Amino acid sequence: MSSVRGLTNAGTAMMTEMTSLVRGQTSVEMTRDTRFGVRVIRLAATSVVALGLIWGFQFATLNTPAFVGVSLAAGWALMPVLLTASLRWPTARYGLALPSTLVGVGLVAICLTALPPDWGVSRVGWLMTTAGVLMGGVLGLWFWFRLAPVPRFLDDPFGPGRWTLVGVHIALIVVGLALIGLSALAHA
């Protein structure tokens, strides 16, 4: 009987430790912190523009299966809505996995089925944009949802480590979209 009690106590101790680790890993990204709210507003506005450009370029320049356009459009519509709703209800940020997945799946489908055959500006632009969006999704899962431990130097959403990663994510998307746009203008 004492061995059963010992196992029960060990299990309770492990659950207590895991609970404290999870509670200790609650990120500012999942709270109503007003400093982070400004970033959420900026992200909502940026997603309207960037995801709209991705959908528009896909529609105007590529021959893709219908589900790609639907996936990109749904992600474009849902992302800013969920971000805005999350200002009042931070747990709505868990829902961001859906539009992120929709856009990611659409972009991966473009890369697998509809990229221009030559290694020109448009192809490189789509690959960079896809890499940037996928990087943003991974960073969101990691930093916001804490699916893996976040090192101390990356834990502060306003610190230089985090801004460096966010900067790379943004640069990939912005440069990628610029390349796609330049290619579209050159072929117009």
pLDDT in tens, 34-66: 888 888 999 999 999 999 999 999 999 999 999
pLDDT above 50: residue 21: no
Q: For the chain, what are the domain ranges?
A: 2-186
* Global pTM value: 0.82
Average pLDDT of the residues in 132-139 = 95
Asked if residue 114 has pLDDT above 60, the reply is: yes
Report pLDDT for 1. 53
CA 17 – CA 139 distance, rounded (Å): 26
Mean pLDDT calculated for residue range 115-139: 94
Q: Which ranges of the chain would DSSP assign to H, the alpha helix?
A: 2-24, 34-61, 66-88, 97-113, 121-139, 152-155, 160-186
Per DSSP, 129 falls in state H
Residues in the chain: 188
Helix axes 34-61, 121-139, angle to 10 degrees: 150
Residue predicted with more confidence, 139 or 3: 139
Share of residues in the chain with pLDDT > 90 (%): 68
